[in-house]
């Protein structure tokens, strides 16, 4: 789809709204402190989600996609005023995750099976093999056209 057809499909109000959204995303406009508390609550996030759904269903879906980025920026900028920390600061580094996993794994000890194998059949310490002679001789039947394995 060509950009000119997308621009032609937008009404004047939608075009103004799209330009306003893009200006908000690009410029470092700060959120007023009284609005930051509203947006940084569960009700504010729900309100942003409802606006996104409204834009997708009743207005041009391009505005809905752009408003997803706008709502992310609103939440990120309002978190600065409410002093809530972002999710990224709570994500541990890979080194911390590895240390936690090492702490969770028990120290390797010899299992019962390994103990018994070492006790019953130690490699290199067993007796010399003794061959016994017997009168038994195995008999094989004719297998017909089957191959001998």
Total tally of structural domains belonging to the chain: 1
pLDDT of 49? 94
pLDDT digits (tens, 9 = 90+) for 36-92: 888 888 899 999 999 999 999 998 888 999 999 999 999 888 888 776 655 556 677
pLDDT of residue 119: 78
134 inside domain: no
Please answer whether residues 81 and 31 qualify as being in contact, where contact means their C-beta atoms are separated by less than 8 angstroms: yes
Residue-number span of the structural domain to which 68 is assigned? 3-90
> Nearest 5°: phi and psi at 90?
-90, -10
Does any domain span residue 106? no
- Tell whether 102 is covered by a domain: no
Within-domain flag for 97: no
Does residue 120 sit within a domain? no
Residue 95 in domain: no
Asked, for residue 124, whether it belongs to a domain, the answer is no
Please give the DSSP secondary-structure letter assigned to residue 123. Answer: T
Query: Would you give the DSSP letter of residue 40?
Result: T
Q: Note whether residue 53 is domain-resident.
A: yes
């Amino acid at each position: 789809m060509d950009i000119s057809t997308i621009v032609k499909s937008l009404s004047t109000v939608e075009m103004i709204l799209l330009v306003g959204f893009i200006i908000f995303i690009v410029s470092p406009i700060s959120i007023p402190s009284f609005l930051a508390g509203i947006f940084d609550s569960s009700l504010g996030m729900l309100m942003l989600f409802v606006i996104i759904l409204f834009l997708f269903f009743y207005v041009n879906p391009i505005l809905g996609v752009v408003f997803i980025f706008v709502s992310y920026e609103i939440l990120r900028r309002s978190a600065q005023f409410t002093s809530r920390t972002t999710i990224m600061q709570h994500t541990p580094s890979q080194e911390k995750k590895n240390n936690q996993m090492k702490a969770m794994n028990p120290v390797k000890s010899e299992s019962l099976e390994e103990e018994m194998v070492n006790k019953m059949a130690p490699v290199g310490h067993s007796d010399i093999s003794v061959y016994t002679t017997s009168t038994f001789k195995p008999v094989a039947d004719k297998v017909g056209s089957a191959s001998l394995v």
